[in-house]
């Protein structure tokens, strides 16, 4: 039993079965969510109970396998080693509005996007709720920096690990835990429409980011195999429904790739897709991936201006950690190669 993946209610039930008073569950919950690494640290928990917990439960605590600090902007990239030896990445970024942590949701990824380093070796396994939460807890603990925002934009497709990601969200949002508000959390997806439809009625106040990257099926399918099953029109229809149900506007990610998705005609098509739908486009300068022939576009500003002339709000993502392999999956990839 992985104790940090348990909700307060499940912990209460478990402690009741152990014949423990009710307040113990909350005491242990607080220890776990402060990043305790062993049951022995839990000094207000009786020794006999700590022994029982040690026997019954697994307490996850990742260790720093590598840590790279950017000289340019102070961004920190962690490579964590999990209990089974797998490694995942987390990035700590410092913005004026607060510290943001970018977390992974899976070990590897099955989505196969051609420009992304995370998917090169496929998916090894899903992360547990505790393992996703640990990235926030232990980044905060190791760096000594208070974390106020979370983006689920690291390795993996969060909606392909739906149940664990939802449980993580409720844990990290809990007032007795890290208490990070949903409005401070973004979840990025390659566009799994069934899962977006499943998420919508929950009405979570998080920001949904959809990786669009192309406004037409031909280009999008080339870049993102997941498009074959869905198609741009069905995806946009799903996004429209999501907005209608949740009232939350979607942020569309668009990595600018030289000669692939950066033409004026594609900007016009993109603006057309977004007509009548409050949304926002986040243009991402492509990060070079050694294994990929795709190159960054030089037309980012022109593309942005053209979108804005059509009345579409578009921002360009600032590049952080350019000197530390900070983009998706690069450090894990390098580490696997070196071993």
| Contact status: 255 vs ligand SAH (CB under 6 A) | yes
Task: Return the residue of 20, 70, 287, 304 that touches ligand SAH, per CB under 6 A.
Answer: 287
Sign of CA dihedral 74, 78, 171, 28: negative
Task: Return the residue of 89, 131, 134, 253 that touches ligand SAH, per CB under 6 A.
Answer: 253
Measured in whole angstroms, how far is the alpha carbon of residue 162 from the centre of its chain?
Answer: 12
- Per-residue three-class SS string for 233-258: HHHHHHHHHHHHHHCCCEEEEEEEEC
| Residue 249: CB minimum distance to ligand SAH, A | 17
Residue 328 annotated as catalytic = yes
| Residue 330: CB minimum distance to ligand SAH, A | 8
Nearer to ligand SAH, 28 or 255 (CB): 255
| Contact status: 211 vs ligand SAH (CB under 6 A) | yes
Binding mask 136-155 for ligand SAH (x = CB under 6 A): -----------------x--
Nearer to ligand SAH, 106 or 140 (CB): 106
Task: Return the residue of 76, 137, 171, 289 that touches ligand SAH, per CB under 6 A.
Answer: 289
DSSP state letter for 68: E
Hey, which bits of the chain come out as E strands? 63-69, 76-81, 87-95, 98-102, 106-108, 123-126, 149-152, 185-189, 207-211, 250-256, 279-285, 314-316
| Gap between the Cα atoms of 300 and 272, Å rounded | 18
| Contact status: 189 vs ligand SAH (CB under 6 A) | yes
- Catalytic residue, chosen from 87, 89, 113, 190, is 89
Phi, psi of 102 (to 5 degrees): -105, 115
Tokens encoding 220: 């999008």
Residue 41 annotated as catalytic = no
Neighbours of 309 (CB within 10 A): 11
Residues interacting with ligand SAH, by CB under 6 A? 111, 113, 115-116, 153, 157, 188-190, 211, 253, 255, 284, 286-287, 289, 327-328
Instruction: Give catalytic residues, as residue numbers.
Output: 89, 328
């Amino acid at each position: 039993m992985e104790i940090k993946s348990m909700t307060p209610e499940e912990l209460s039930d478990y402690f009741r079965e152990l014949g423990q008073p009710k307040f113990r569950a909350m005491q242990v919950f607080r220890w776990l969510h402060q990043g305790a690494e062993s049951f022995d640290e839990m000094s207000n928990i009786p020794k006999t109970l700590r022994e029982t917990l040690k026997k019954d439960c697994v307490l996850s605590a990742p260790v720093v396998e590598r840590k790279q600090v950017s000289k340019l902007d102070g961004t920190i990239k962690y490579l964590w080693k999990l209990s089974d030896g797998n490694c995942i990445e987390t990035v700590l970024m410092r913005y004026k509005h607060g510290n943001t942590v970018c977390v992974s949701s899976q070990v590897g990824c099955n989505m196969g996007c051609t420009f992304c380093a995370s998917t090169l070796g496929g998916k090894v396994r899903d992360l547990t709720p505790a393992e996703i939460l640990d990235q926030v807890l232990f980044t905060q603990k190791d760096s000594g920096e208070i974390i106020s925002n979370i983006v689920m934009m690291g390795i993996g497709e969060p909606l392909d690990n739906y149940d664990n990601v939802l449980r993580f969200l409720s844990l990290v949002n809990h007032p007795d835990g890290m208490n990070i508000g949903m409005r401070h959390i973004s979840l990025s997806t390659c566009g799994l429409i069934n899962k977006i439809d499943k998420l919508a009625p929950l009405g979570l106040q998080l920001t949904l980011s959809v990786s669009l990257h192309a406004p037409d099926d031909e280009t999008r399918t080339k870049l993102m195999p997941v498009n074959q099953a869905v198609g741009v029109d069905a995806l946009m229809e799903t996004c429209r429904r999501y907005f209608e149900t949740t009232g939350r506007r979607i942020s569309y990610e668009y990595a600018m790739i030289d000669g692939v998705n950066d033409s004026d005609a594609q900007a016009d098509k993109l603006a057309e897709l977004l007509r009548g739908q409050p949304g926002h486009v986040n243009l991402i300068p492509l990060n070079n991936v050694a294994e990929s022939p795709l190159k960054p576009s030089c037309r980012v500003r022109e593309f942005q201006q053209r979108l804005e002339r059509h009345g579409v709000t578009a921002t360009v993502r600032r590049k952080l950690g350019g000197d530390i392999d900070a983009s998706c999956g690069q450090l894990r990839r390098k580490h696997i190669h070196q071993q």
